[in-house]
Amino acid sequence: MTDTIFLSGLTAECIIGIWDWERKVRQKVVIDLEMRADVRRAAASDHIDDTLDYKKVSKRLQQFVEQSQFQLVETLTDRIAQLVITEFGVPAVKVRLNKQGALRGSRDVGIVIERRREDYLPSGPGGST
């Protein structure tokens, strides 16, 4: 499957960072997603119920991020990937998280990760994620 539904430039404010001042001030993060999805059924039916509803994804992510209080962008980015995969049934996702202005002299700083459904399956008996 080579179909991708993307969402670019989704913004949210959250507590993110390791420094004392960062634990007190909400900072803006910008999220780009590439979500694998088979869109053939939706293309044939022309009905929203047969595809990934990116409006629902966007609203859920904004809610999640705004309530989060992680120290590392790595953690937040991984949790975003996990949420998209587990709550929306996406088989694979690429997440780019940008913490603009986090580094003096640089416009953008952040992380890009790719995850698959298998990355969040329990591992063996009594498994963990």
Positions annotated as catalytic residues are 99
The alpha-carbon radius of gyration of the chain (Å, integer) is: 16
Query: What is the rounded distance in angstroms from the CA atom of residue 77 to the CA atom of residue 75?
Result: 5
Which residues have a Cβ under 8 Å from the Cβ of 63 and sit 6 or more positions away? none
